[in-house]
Amino acid sequence: MKLKLIPTIIMLLIFALLTAISYQDNAASDGFTKIGFPFNFYLYSGGKFSNPSITSDFGFSTKYFIADLFILILVIVIGNIVVNKWRETNK
Amino acid sequence: MTSLGLKLKVAILDRTKDKVTNLFRLASVMETQLKRSYQISYQTYINFPISKFNNHNRIINSGLDGFAYKTFFSTIKKTVNVSFFMKYRIVRNPDQKMNNEHLIQIMDNIGEMKNLYGFAHNIGGSTVSLNVSYVNNIIQGLDNNTIPHELGHTFSLLHVDDQSTLRSDSRQYWTHAKQNTKDSTNIMFSGGSKYNTDLTSTTVVGDQINLLINAYRNGKLNLN
Ligand SMILES: [Zn+2]
């Protein structure tokens, strides 16, 4: 399958937009700083927690970063398949 | 000597399902804790203008720039006595918060609040969320830190030990050596710091009050 440039760029932009919209930066006032869509590959808070297991998950998560990349690639591939099918049926 | 009055108006709201907190007792404890932390007396240096027009009547010849007189600033040491005043009312929904009030809302221990003592919604903002699971400790005097700490964030104070403070306002960052002094009982240690303890992290230093005054003068307090 060949990837079409414009649909691929549009899907990349949508993904970047969703990442930007879901970005939160409240760690300085004890809320959460979260980056990543759909999974947060970066999570941090300066707040106080009663359960230490929460803070042990803080920082950059390679697992979620790869998951986000995988989903992005999947969305691009599926998106291209849909666009190709739609173009064929509308020929 | 200078007197400084900090006046805080608070709207207290219980947003939990079961509403078990005695809000009047919480308000009373809040006031006690805020007075304990913020009512300090400290010495500070201020810039004092000196020119031929003020009482000191000192004439400074500016020399080469061609002007006969010049105002210049002399640094003087002053003692500042801080008083803290709190007024509160109980509200039934967040919309009842007025512009000149801080909103203190009690939340259930779910979602983002899960296991989190509390948070301020913004630095310099006017809303603080407290986790209902730890409010009882506050009322019983076992946690003297959370209220002064979270309100400290709304007064523009940052964590003294957090690397991000170094980037956003390096004046508020304390080196390891400075953290390990008599000021290790400061209210603004982050939740992960070994110096942050519920019971005894209760003190504020003069520099933090100066920051608060500056933030207020620059319109950076009482934001949403
Ligand atoms: Zn904090």
CATH code: domain of residue B164: 3.40.390.10
pLDDT at B67: 53
In a domain, B53, yes or no: no
pLDDT, average across residues B5-21:
97
Residues of B in contact with A46 (CB under 8 A): 159, 162, 164, 190-192
What's the CA dihedral at B125, B126, B129, B134 to 10 degrees? 100
The answer to whether B133 contacts chain A (CB < 8 Å) is yes
Residues of B in contact with A30 (CB under 8 A): 116-120, 149-150, 153, 191
- Minimum-distance CB partner of B168 among A28, A54, A55: A28
d(CA A84, CA B130): 52
Percent of chain A residues past pLDDT 70, beyond the cut: 99
Q: What is the ipTM of this complex?
A: 0.84
Sign for the CA dihedral angle at B37, B41, B44, B46 comes to positive
Residue A74, classified by CB atoms within 10 Å of its CB into exposed (0-12), middle (13-18) or buried (19+), is exposed
The A-side interface with B (CB below 8 A) comprises 26-32, 45-51, 54-55
pLDDT at B50: 62
In a domain, B60, yes or no: no
d(CA B73, CA A60): 49
pLDDT at A3: 82
Q: Is the pLDDT of residue B9 over 60?
A: yes
Cβ-based neighbours of A47, under 8 Å, separated by 6 or more: A27, A30, A31, B116, B117, B118, B119, B190, B191
- Give residue B116 CA to ligand 1 midpoint distance, Å: 11
pLDDT-derived band at B59, boundaries 50, 70, 90: very low
Among B44-58, B60-74, B159-173, where is mean pLDDT lowest? B60-74
Domain tally, chain B: 1
Report CB contact under 8 Å: B125, A54: no
Residue at token pair 């591939």: A77
In a domain, B79, yes or no: no
In a domain, B205, yes or no: yes
In a domain, B171, yes or no: yes
In a domain, B177, yes or no: yes
Task: Give per-residue pLDDT as tens, A51-81.
Answer: 878 888 899 999 999 999 999 999 999 989 9
Q: What domain range includes position B121?
A: 2-39+84-217
pLDDT at B58: 47
Inter-chain Cβ pairs, chain A and chain B, closer than 8 A: 72
